[in-house]
Amino acid sequence: MSEFSFRERAAERGAWMQDEMTVEEASQDQLRGQHAGAEIAGLETQFDIVRFLRRTGEAFSLTHFMVFSLPGFDGEKISAHSIVSNWPAEVIARYDALQMVRRSAGIGKLRTTTVPFSYDMTDWIDDAAKG
């Protein structure tokens, strides 16, 4: 990681979130997010991060995750930007071989928003066919 540790960056993010809203303004989802933010700030090792992401994914019936730095528009391989992942190696290799970084509707969406989003698979397939 860079000169700042994961914990310091998460703590800075948590402080920013607290400055941006008051308890009266916070919804239940936001309060849960603040709790998760505090938990994230306490993660110390890559193993802690993997365990947290697995547990969080399971809560949403998700089996795989990847933390990565967002590739530039000329990026070709997700593997070059992956920080921590439980994707099978063969899936990452195939994703890279197909240069999905350039074609992925999900990565395209990440370039335009920081708001959580989801895709219906039929929409995703339609978007990929257009690209």
pTM, two decimals, is: 0.61
Residue 89 belongs to a domain: yes
Does residue 16 fall inside a structural domain?
no
Q: Evaluate whether residue 93 is within a structural domain.
A: yes
Q: Does a structural domain hold residue 127?
A: yes
- Residue 51 region by backbone torsions, left for phi larger than 0, else alpha for psi between -120 and 50, else beta: alpha
18 part of a folded domain: no
Look at residue 87 and tell me if it is in a domain: yes
120 domain residue, yes or no? yes
Q: Is residue 48 part of a domain?
A: no
Per-residue pLDDT tens digits for 8-56: 544 444 443 444 433 444 444 544 556 788 888 999 999 999 999 999 9
Angstrom distance (rounded) from CA 53 to CA 15: 22
Q: Which domain holds residue 96?
A: 64-131
Count the domains in the chain: 1
